[in-house]
A = this chain, B = another copy of it.
Amino acid sequence: MDEDLIRLITGRKSIRKFDPEQKISHDELSRILQESCRAPSAMNLQPWRFLVIQSKEGKDKLRPLFYNNPQLLDSCSAMIAILGDLRASDYKDHIYNRAVAEGTMSEEERDKEVKLISELYDGMPHDAHLTDVSFNSALAAMQLMLVARAHGYETCPLGGFDKNQFDATFGYDPARYLPLVLIAVGKPAEEGFNTVRLDTDQIVKWV
């Protein structure tokens, strides 16, 4: 058991005030996002999409949609929006052809998987589809918060923004892209605080 790593994972706290002088380079943010995307996903469809809002113009565009403390938006090095792509399965051939090219899958396995994806997703009820895309996109969101911490940054996940206006404001097709969360990233300028958790006997059953 690696107690240091456990501490790093469980020690994450939401930070609401960042050092505005600390920038994160495009290269480092790209690396953080690549590492976040090592998260798993159903059928490896990776429905997560990211909009990195870092410029003054980008933050100003987000401002009227942002329900939290403006200081949080202004001080963070980047505000990363995560959207779920309801047409993630359009990439199935691209993804599975690459698996064959990289030698981790046979052509027969590819054909079977791609057929299964079509069967599952083409007629998927809307409720199940929303659940699938939201759940899988969140795996990358959590991984992003921990990867950022491993890079020496802290984060704050924010659900409080105008999700109905987000797509139109940033040029996404609202029928396709589901805005899920904003994650502020930066060097902390405050200590976070411990928040309450339910007891395990309230939320865990054993069988």
Contacts and interface: CB of A to CB of B under 8 A. Distances in A.
A77 interface: no
A207 B83 CA distance: 15
A76 interface: no
B197 A131 contact: no
Interface string A134-175: 111111111101110111100001010001000000100000
A104 interface: yes
A150 B2 contact: yes
A64 to B, nearest CB: 15
A203 B49 contact: yes
A139 B142 contact: yes
Contacts of A170: 205, 207
A141 B37 CA distance: 15
A10 B32 CA distance: 10
A189 interface: no
B40 A180 contact: no
17 contacts: A2-B8, A6-B147, A14-B40, A46-B198, A50-B204, A51-B207, A95-B198, A99-B195, A102-B196, A104-B193, A104-B195, A126-B127, A130-B131, A132-B159, A135-B135, A135-B137, A140-B142
Contact of A37 (B99, B104, B197): B197
A138 B132 contact: no
A181 B35 contact: no
Contact of A104 (B8, B33, B44, B194): B194
